């Protein structure tokens, strides 16, 4: 479909897309009614080059290499000023108002963009708060995944959980986000990192990202096996990355006394977790995670520098490089065993 992209106004920036990751969230939204308006351009993991800036843009120039983080934050509210941009109280402040022309449109009217990005396109128009400058030396296909898969996964371990050296963690689901949760736990200094998945190929990938142990959930009770690996104690942190109801309940059962489960995967609308009181008597807790509690202007440049230093694995996240015309095929294989992330590369 051909769409028209408006010129930037205010603090908006137009970016020519060089690479866009295909994230499971795109598939979830395209196949479930989560309240997003249609028609809509999907895609939200983007890296590219700035080709136009609005008159009030403060921190970027035409020609800058950038990646886009879909976390939406105003920069002015109390939580933003405290660095908790992921809890912004006025996130729509950086979107256009109803009396302004839409950023993207056709002759029939406005076309919405997923999470304010719409990255499955040759160009995107976003607020400069969504942009992070890229260091020289990082390729666009690697940089694209920083803005969601890396930010959410690594951030869940490093920011949301704030894993301390010597603690233990289990990660349920070893796709692109889960692999980053594993390597975030490794960077934090977790003593034992147990990766749980149904796929041997993904579990092998998890080892390359820092898992000390793996559990194939198709071969028996994953809760019992995780607890056995910890001497019956359980883990300090359990990360649920699949968006599966039963996996979230299993994560609670894997916890040690005082442990926390982090819900990262997007559950189906209306999902309710029936939790027995014994969990709370044992001081366990369940916490929702949004974008890995990421402050994008701080965290994403750090991940990029760690990658350039050889201390952060982005290369093995890229399972395939595709053209935009192949995006539907990428959706079909998104849950496949061998591909952590497909990335659309534009000439």
* Every domain of the chain and the residues it spans: 4-148+294-345, 152-291
Q: Tell me the Ramachandran region of residue 182: left when phi exceeds 0, alpha when psi lies from -120 to 50, beta otherwise.
A: alpha
Q: Which of the four pLDDT bands, split at 50, 70 and 90, describes residue 270?
A: confident
How is residue 258 written in tokens?
């005082």
Residues comprising the chain, all counted:
347
| Lowest model confidence (mean pLDDT) among 19-23, 158-162, 306-310 | 19-23
Question: Is 347's pLDDT higher than 80?
Answer: no
**Contacts of residue 162, Cβ cutoff 8 Å, sequence gap at least 6:** 188
Mean pLDDT for 70-95 is 95
How much of the chain is helix, strand and coil, in % rounded to 5?
A: 35, 25, 40
How is residue 134 written in tokens?
């890229």
Question: Which fold does the domain 4-148+294-345 belong to in CATH?
Answer: Quinone Oxidoreductase; Chain A, domain 1 (3.90.180)
Mean pLDDT for 81-101 is 95
Mean pLDDT for 177-184 is 97
Q: What is the pLDDT of residue 336?
A: 56
C-alpha dist (Å) from residue 234 to 68, 166, 251, 304: 37, 14, 10, 33
Mean pLDDT for 120-124 is 94
> Higher confidence at residue 154 or residue 341?
154
Strands (E), the chain: 4-5, 12-22, 40-41, 45-53, 65-68, 104-106, 109-110, 112-113, 123-127, 131-133, 168-172, 192-197, 213-216, 235-240, 255-263, 285-288, 318-322, 341-345
Please give the Cα distance from 42 to 118 (Å, whole number): 5
How is residue 55 annotated by DSSP? T
Q: Residue 42: is the preceding peptide bond cis (ω within 30°)? A: no
Question: Is 20's pLDDT higher than 60?
Answer: yes
132 neighbors 336 (Cβ within 8 angstroms) = no
Interval 22-54: pLDDT, tens: 887 777 776 666 677 778 888 899 999 999 999
Q: What is the pLDDT of residue 260?
A: 98
CATH number, domain 152-291: 3.40.50.720
Q: Where are the alpha helices (DSSP H) in 84-164?
A: 140-144, 149-155
**Contacts of residue 336, Cβ cutoff 8 Å, sequence gap at least 6:** none
């Amino acid at each position: 479909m051909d769409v028209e992209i408006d010129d930037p106004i205010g603090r908006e920036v137009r970016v020519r897309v060089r690479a866009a990751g295909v994230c499971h969230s795109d598939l979830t939204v395209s196949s479930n009614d989560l309240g997003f308006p249609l028609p809509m351009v999907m895609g939200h993991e983007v890296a590219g080059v700035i080709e136009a800036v609005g008159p009030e843009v403060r921190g970027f120039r035409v020609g800058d290499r950038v990646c886009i983080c879909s976390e939406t934050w105003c920069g002015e509210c109390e939580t933003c000023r405290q660095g908790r941009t992921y809890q912004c109280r006025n996130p729509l402040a950086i979107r256009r108002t109803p009396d302004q022309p839409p950023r993207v449109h056709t002759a029939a009217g406005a076309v919405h963009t997923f999470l304010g990005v719409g990255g499955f396109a040759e160009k995107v128009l976003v607020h400069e708060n969504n942009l992070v400058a890229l260091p020289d030396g990082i390729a666009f296909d690697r940089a694209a995944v920083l803005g969601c898969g890396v930010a959410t996964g690594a951030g869940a371990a490093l920011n949301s959980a704030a894993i301390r050296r010597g603690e233990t963690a289990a990660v349920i689901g070893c796709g692109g986000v889960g692999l980053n949760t594993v390597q975030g736990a490794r960077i934090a200094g977790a003593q034992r990192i147990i990766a749980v998945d149904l796929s041997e190929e993904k579990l092998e990938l998890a080892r390359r990202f820092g898992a000390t142990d793996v559990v194939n959930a198709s071969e028996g009770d994953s809760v019992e096996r995780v607890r056995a690996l910890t001497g019956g104690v359980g883990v300090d942190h359990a990360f649920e990355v699949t968006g599966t109801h039963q996996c979230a309940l299993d994560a609670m059962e894997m916890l040690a006394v005082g442990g926390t489960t982090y819900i990262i995967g997007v559950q189906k609308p209306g999902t309710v977790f029936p939790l027995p009181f014994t969990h709370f008597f044992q001081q366990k807790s369940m916490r929702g995670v949004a974008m890995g509690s990421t402050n994008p202007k701080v965290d994403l440049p750090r991940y990029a520098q760690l990658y350039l230093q050889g201390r952060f694995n982005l290369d093995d996240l890229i399972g395939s490089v595709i053209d935009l015309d192949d995006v539907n095929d990428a959706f079909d294989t998104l849950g496949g065993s061998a591909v952590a992330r497909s990335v659309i590369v534009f000439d």
